[in-house]
Amino acid sequence: MIYVHRIFTALLATVPMSLTYAVTSGAAAQTSTQAATKSAHARDISIGLQAAITSMDPHYHNVGPNNSTLRHIFQPLVAPDENQKLTPALATSWRAIDDTTWEFKLRKNVRWHDGSAFTADDVAFTLKRVPNVPNSPSSFATFTKPIIDVKIIDLHTIIFKTAFPHPLLPSDLTAVAIISKAVGEKATTDDYNSGKAAIGTGPYKFVEYVANQRVVVKANYDYWGGEEPWDKVTFKMLTSPAARVAALLSGNVEMIETVPTADISQLEKNTKFALSNKVSNRVIYAHLNQHQDKAPVFLTDKAGKALEKNPLKDLRVRKALSMAINRDAIVSRVMEGRAVAASQLLADNFFGTSRKLKPAKFDPEGAKKLLAEAGYPNGFAMTIHGPNNRYINDAAIAQTIAQFYSRIGIEVKVDTMPSSVYFTRASKLEFSYMVLGWGTESGEQGSALRSLLATYDTAKGMGVTNRGRYSNPAFDKALGEALVTMDDKKRESMIQRAAEMAMEDVGLIPLHYEVSTWATTKALKYIPRTDQYTLAMNLKLAK
């Protein structure tokens, strides 16, 4: 057997290439013609994306992959840099005049891709359009909702009034792409998809959008920020991880995002490629169903009979469930080192994260003791639910957690399903224990706490994604006060305190922060981003 193993290991050194050809044989002809013309267009580049881009309308679908790709064509007033620090984009400066009034100075001499000038009118129009996009599957209105009044002072000065003190306004506005009033007034989402209305101010212009296939953009030589190193960028939607890696190996694309963890070590050894990675703003965590006092359906005693009380409402049980997980093992084994054990909702160094919080120590004996104290010396039976195509290695993570729980006497089943089914059922509160992920676009822990842990109240926009229905009035109060504090220093320490309250109460179980990995050919260098965006603007020639 070991002999066979040796032969295989030797053989397999040659296998990846042949496999690659098999996978991409359809694209083989295309690749060779590309290679022939490559010398003529050294400034053309292809990038393999992990998800499909669903629309070219920047206000249609608030989802990471769309926002990332559309950033090439459309720009917000304020743009986050690779570390999610706010930098001027279409606004050159901004300040709060008082607690509820903001003044934004707009950039002069910016031209739309159709040649017309960018003014405050366009900004006002954009804010009006955002909440009114028909059939939007996930609206951007959350970001514009606090603005109750817009005043245009002159062509390049605009004033926003907010309903309440809203220190996160500049950060919220990073998600809102500004569109041209002249073009947008008559345009529908279809006009953006066809390219007719895809007129922005960004460094690249729209060329082509083919649903589930590709997005093509070309350089905007009149860009206010100066010329980019690429003439034409083709984003190919390669949702299968193996196909994405194969496309990179075969030279079909020069760069891919979200390198499958299983392939990272192999690519690292390959001298033709370079990897770059960064801790992202995405935390993988488990929500615990605390909605009812009665135990939820997927949580029973070992004989399958319903429990009278919901064990997940007991802090000791929640603590035990957190302590029983060996986060370091998940990071090193399941994630192959491409993750960081989590203690809260955002990695250290992000705004509002507390240094006092440390990942729960792996202690199965202590967990058993806590379960016994809580009245479950023999454990209980539980099903862990998770997606199998949303987060990096999501199905394997769910199984590994099950392994750890079975050691403290909990009888665990694992059920993973495609994310489309999973999220719908999770939002209906069908599950007991849910493996989930959350990327904090604002880079500020306050907004993650608000979405995931504040008591569920859609009218107030609190706890809108709180699928565990955790509720802690003291925490709600602390967080509520923090979110309306305008002074950054004060707000940060208040958010830290709120985070400590929720984490010590194990409102949810943080597992790890994803590390995103990009792979490029050796000739290129990608400046990795915490927001997991893949931007041609961050792609440079390696020196």
Partner 1 sequence: MNAAAWLKRATKSALSFGEAPRIESPLQRFWSDFSESRLALIGLMLLTMIILIAIFAPLISPQNPYDLSQLDIMDSKLAPGEKSGAGHTHLLGTDDQGRDMLSAIFYGLRISLGVGIASTVFALAIGLFFGMIAAYFSGWVDTLIMRVVDIQLSFPAILIALILLAVLGQGADKIIVALITVQWAYYARTVRASALVEKQKEYIEAAKVLALSKTRILFCHMLPNCLPPLIVVATVQVAHAIALESTLSFLGLGLPITEPSLGLLISNGFTYLMSGKYWISFYPGLALLLTIMSINLVADQLRDVLNPRLKK
Binding site for partner 1 (CB under 8 A): 1-2, 4-5, 8-9, 12-13, 15-16, 19, 241-242, 245, 260, 262-263, 265-266, 326, 329-330, 333-334, 388, 395-396, 398-400, 402-403, 405-407, 412-416
CA–CA separation, 56 and 195 (whole Å): 8
Find the shortest distance in angstroms from Cβ 292 to partner 1. Answer: 24
Which is closer to partner 1, CB of 139 or CB of 399?
A: 399
Residue (333 or 490) nearer to partner 1, CB: 333
Query: Smallest distance from the beta carbon of 399 to partner 1, in angstroms?
Result: 5
Count Cβ atoms below 10 Å from residue 460 Cβ, excluding itself.
Answer: 12
Tell me the CA distances in angstroms from 273 to 180, 392, 533, one per residue in order.
Answer: 40, 21, 20
Of 175 and 334, which CB lies nearer to partner 1 in the complex structure? Answer: 334
Query: Shortest Cβ distance from residue 96 to partner 1 (Å)?
Result: 49
Nearer to partner 1, 16 or 225 (CB): 16
Q: Nearer Cβ to partner 1, position 207 or 242? A: 242
Burial 173-210 (b: 16+ CB within 10 A, else e): bbbbbbbbbebbeebebebbbebebbbbbbbbbbbebe
Write down the least CB distance from residue 497 to partner 1, Å. 35
User: Cα dihedral sign for 26, 30, 36, 39?
Assistant: negative
The nearest distance, CB 432 to partner 1, in angstroms, is: 16
Tokens 């509160």, located at residue = 429
User: 389 forms bridges with which residues in the sheet?
Assistant: none
Q: What torsion, rounded to 10 degrees, do the Cα atoms 42, 47, 48, 50 define?
A: 170
* Structure token digits, residue 310: 């919901």
With b for 16 or more beta-carbon neighbours within 10 A and e for fewer, the 462-494 pattern comes to bbebbbbebbbeebbebbbebbbbeeeeebbeb
Taking the C-alpha atoms of residue 213 and residue 236, their distance in angstroms, rounded to an integer, is 6
Query: 57 vs 263, which CB is nearer to partner 1?
Result: 263
Cα gap 474→502, rounded to integer Å: 9
Report the residue number, 362 or 456, with the smaller CB distance to partner 1: 362
Rank residues 272 and 490 by Cβ distance to partner 1 and give the closer one: 272
Angstrom CA distances, 389 to 70, 413, 421, stand at 23, 19, 11
Closest separation in Å from C-beta 213 to partner 1: 24
Q: Sign (positive/negative) of CA torsion 273, 282, 491, 349? A: negative
Nearer to partner 1, 329 or 484 (CB): 329
Residue 8 or 164 with smaller CB distance to partner 1: 8
Least separation in angstroms between CB 381 and partner 1: 12
**Nearest approach, Cβ of 414 to partner 1 (angstroms)?**
5
Partners of residue 395 on adjacent β-strands? none
CB nearer partner 1, residue 49 or residue 330: 330
C-beta of 388: minimal distance to partner 1 in Å?
A: 7
Phi then psi for residue 277, to 5 deg, are -145, 160
Angle (nearest 5°) at CA 137 between 536 and 346: 60
Q: What is the DSSP string of 64-108?
A: HHHHHHHTTT-B-SEEE-TT--EEESSEEEEEEEETTEEEEEEPS
Nearest CA to 379 out of 293, 289, 434, 317 is that of 317
